[in-house]
Structure formats: C-alpha cells, structure tokens
Amino acid sequence: MNDPDLPIQAPDPKVSRAPRWVPSLIWLVPLVAAIIGGTLAVRQIRSTGPTIEIEFATAEGITPGKTKVKYKNVDIGDVTEVHLNDDRTKAVVKVELDHSAEAFAATDSRFWVVRPRLAGATVTGLGTLLSGAYIGVDGGRSKDEQKHFVGLESPPVVTSDEPGKRYVLHADDIGSLDVGAPVYFRRIQVGHLEQFSLDDDGQSITVGIFVRAPYDRFITPETRFWHASGIDLSFDAGGLKLQTQSLATILLGGIAFEPLPGSDVNTPAPEGAEFALAADRSTAVKTPDGPPQTVVFSFRNTVRGLSVGAPIDFHGVTIGQVQSIHLTHDAKTDTYLAPVTAVIYPERLGEAVDSGDAKARAAALVKRGLRAQLRPGNLLTGQMYVALDFFPEAEPAKIAMVEGGAVQLPTVDAEMIEIQTQVRSILKKIEGVPFDEIGKEARDTLVTLNKTLKRLDGVMSDAKTDTLPELKDSLRAISQTLSGDSPTQQDTRAALRAMTDAARALKSLADGLDRNPEMLIRGRSSNK
C-alpha cells in the first residue's frame, strides 16, 4: 500500500538476513548468567562437607544456624537442625561440616558441647558465657567415614593429638576418683583418668587412664598402680597410718604409679596394657598374693576387738585378713561359738605351703600344733588380730572342711584369756573367804569391847568418887609417917641406934671369943 503520491517507486531493498544458525550476541547474557550461577553452585557444593548427626542428652545452648562446630577454635561446620530422636530420649543435632573438615566425619571422632563448666579445680568454657555454646570436636584418625555420632557429655580429658599411651586398670572400687583425675608419677602429674566403668559382673571397675609422652615410657609391665585418693587414714592393729599424695589429690583424688624396685625400666608396656589398681601404695608394691584360701576359725571366747579386715598373722607376717565375724550356737555342747571367716594367701607363706594339696599341707601343719589364737595387737585401741602359731602342747585337733571350700582351723584360747582364767580362779578363792562371818565376828568382838570399856568407864567414875579421897588420906598419912620429925622416924632412929649398940656388943663378943675361945666355958678372964 504505497503512497500513490510518491513520485519514485523505488525497488524493494534487498534484505539480507543474518544466517539463522549464528546466535545473536544477546545469548551471551544467559550464558554468562549460567556460568556465574554454575560457578556459585559448584563452589557452594564444594564448600559443604558431609552432613553428620550427633546425639546429645540435651541440646542446651544449641541453636540451629547459630551454633558452630569448632576445632582448635576454627569453625569447621554449622548446626543446621536440632530434633529429637524417635524415642525422644536424645536430642539429635544435625551438623553440616565444611568441605575442608571432611576428615572429621571419621569413626573415632568425638563431639561434645562446650559450655561453661566447673569441674574439680578447673573452669573451662568461660568464653562461651557470652558467645553461646559451641560443639567441640576431637578429630579422629580413622579413614572410615561415619555419619552418626553419640556426643560426649563432657569434654574428653585427652585429645587425640596429644602423644601418649592409654592403659587399663582394674580396681575394686573407684574411691574418690572421677574422670579427669590426675595420674602421678613421683608426684609429677603425667596423665589423666579418662573413663571408668563398672564391669558387667559388678565385681570390679575398669578404669582407663592416659599417660602423656614421655612419661609413658616409665610404665613397664612391672609397674604398680594405686589410689592416691585423698587422705588415707587407717587406724588398725598396726597403729595410726596417714598417707597423702599431694594437696590436690586430697580434694580430687588421683592415681599414682611406680615401677617395682629393681624391675627392668627399659621395656615399656604396650598401649592398652592392663594393670591392677591397688587401694594404697603398700598393697601395690606387695608381692602378688596368689590365689586366696578361705579359712574359718571358731573361737570359743569373745572376739571383742577383732574387726573385719584385721590381719591374720603368722610369725609376724600378715598372710591374710578377717572377712567376717559371726556367732553360732553349738547345740552339742550348748555353747556359743564365734566363727571368723578369713582369707589367707598361702603363697605368702613361701615354700612352707606351696602349690599342691593345700588341705594335706594344712592337716600336717595342724598335726604339728598349728592353732589360731586371738591376740591383742594394740593395747591402746584394744584391737585384736588372729595369730597362727604352733602350740605343741595343745590338745590334738583336726581340720574340717566347711561348705564353700573353706578350711576350718582349730583354735586355742587367747593368752589374755588364760590370764583371765587364772585371775578368775584367784578371785574365786578370794570369793570363798567367809568375809561375812569374819565381819560379823569382828563386829561382835567390837561390841563386847565396847561393853567392857563402858564398864571400865563406870569403875573409873566410882574410883574417882570413893577411892581417891581415901587414897589421898593414906598418902598423907604415909607422908606424915615419913617426915623427919615424925614419931616413927624417931622410933626408927632409936631402934637403929639400939641395933648398932647390939651389933657392937656382938662384935666385942666375937672378938673376945676369937681370942679366948674358952671364954665360952670359963667366962671372961679378968686381967690376964
């Protein structure tokens, strides 16, 4: 429909169309967009590592999208989701690890939540007070990949990048130990308690410890471990005993070890070696006891002062300890017996009782006079112990087998009890003295004496009133009689004079007679 007014009817222009297969430049735009988008997508895919799931008892402080997974404080992943597991017992935390952290999805990796924590003497995770909790990880070395983990409730004591060795200890009880408790070697802290668990049979506890390099080379097969827990205060037949390791262990407990003196220190124990954890150092360094043998002693006397754990002594060497003390009634003799069950370690007797028929050996020993006797171990505390000794004069006795494989050994009365018996017999004799009658007679005597004295008293008072004046008169009379001018005196003097005259006459007579004996017949001659 061209305008008819136009003068020139120009020929239609040649239209040369661009070949259709050459794409227009505009298609570069979506191409570039695709490249950019593809690059971003690839980078995103490359940067996301594996997604793992970790089970925790609680998801306290864990926020999806906010909480990080950190290793040595480097972010290696994010928590993307938190949900409960099927039976609602655990919180499952889904973690997207970074691509570079792929190796953390190994079977032996351990995860835990880092929160502020006060454990023993250490405070950890203070930084998380402000930043919120994060998930800590201890990278495993395993090549096997794992996607589901069970998180630890507390940070592991030892991380896998710390050189050292792990050992297994077997203990009777855990004492005051806890996870993280220190391990000491010559009072240097060289490791930690990593974990402990009750054995399946409930009879003992398995403790896992970690000893840092280079101290692990001091652990040889001959190393002994013991509880260095708190204060070890024992008050037994041996007296008062107080042992501590260091001030920290008093509060926290710990484990100490020491190679046996004289043992070879150049052969370290292999990783995972098993040891016994003794209750204290003295038990630890004791030679191994060998199989225990249960024995029963039936004491006829009181077992007061004998406690569970009291030593069984043989020639001054402790070979066992009391396990239980009972009381039974023997219907045959109508007496009460105290059966004391004890454990002895026959190997401590050395060659005296070595392997072989233990019963026959025991019988032979009993035949030689082996008896058990209660003896006072500590006079101060009154603690008793059981002594095994030879009493050749003791009444012959035999061993008896008790149910449960225990051997019943004969007993003799305690020395103290013998003394007591003698004292008692003396007392009985003293008791035989008729103190009652003696006392009665004495009282009667005293009464009589009293009466006599009373009577004497009456006599004395009579004498005072009647006799004394008379006596006074008599004395005065005597005194008068004896005075110088008394007639008696005069008379006496005259009489004496007369007697003197008479004596003189007699003397002259005697003289005359001496001279003239015929004077007796002829009389005195007149002057001759």
Q: At its nearest, how many Å lie between another protein and the CB of residue 114?
A: 13
And the tokens for 168?
């297994």
Our finding on whether 26 is near another protein (CB under 8 A) is: yes
Can you tell me which of 58, 107, 131, 160 binds another protein, judged by CB under 8 A?
131
Q: At its nearest, how many Å lie between another protein and the CB of residue 152?
A: 24
Our finding on whether 12 is near another protein (CB under 8 A) is: yes
Q: At its nearest, how many Å lie between another protein and the CB of residue 141?
A: 29
Alpha carbons 364 and 383: distance in angstroms, whole number: 30
Q: At its nearest, how many Å lie between another protein and the CB of residue 133?
A: 11
Our finding on whether 13 is near another protein (CB under 8 A) is: yes
Span 63-122, contacts to another protein by CB under 8 A = 65-66, 68, 75
Strand order of the sheet with strand 74-84? 110-114, 134-138, 68-71, 74-84, 91-98, 48-56, 148-150
Our finding on whether 42 is near another protein (CB under 8 A) is: no
Q: At its nearest, how many Å lie between another protein and the CB of residue 187?
A: 41
3-state secondary structure of 141: coil
The owner of tokens 């490791």 is: 191
Our finding on whether 24 is near another protein (CB under 8 A) is: yes
Our finding on whether 270 is near another protein (CB under 8 A) is: no
Nearer to another protein, 127 or 382 (CB): 127
Q: At its nearest, how many Å lie between another protein and the CB of residue 26?
A: 4
Contacts of 180 (CB under 8 A, 6+ apart): 119, 120, 122, 157, 192, 193
Our finding on whether 36 is near another protein (CB under 8 A) is: yes
Span 324-353, contacts to another protein by CB under 8 A = none
- Looking at 315-419, which runs of residues are DSSP E strands? 317-325, 328-330, 335-344, 370-378, 383-390, 400-402, 406-409
Can you tell me which of 132, 292, 369, 512 binds another protein, judged by CB under 8 A?
132
Q: Is the dihedral of CA 446, 447, 450, 456 positive or negative?
A: negative
Answer left, alpha or beta for residue 139, where phi above 0 means left and psi between -120 and 50 means alpha: beta
Our finding on whether 40 is near another protein (CB under 8 A) is: yes
Per-residue DSSP letter, 25: G
- Strand 400-402 relative to strand 383-390: parallel, antiparallel, unpaired? unpaired
Cβ-based burial of 403 (10 A; exposed 0-12, middle 13-18, buried ≥19) = exposed
Our finding on whether 505 is near another protein (CB under 8 A) is: no
Residues binding another protein: what is the number (CB under 8 A)? 27
Residues contributing to the site for another protein (CB under 8 A): 1-2, 6, 10-13, 24, 26-27, 29-30, 32-34, 36-37, 40-41, 44, 65-66, 68, 75, 130-132
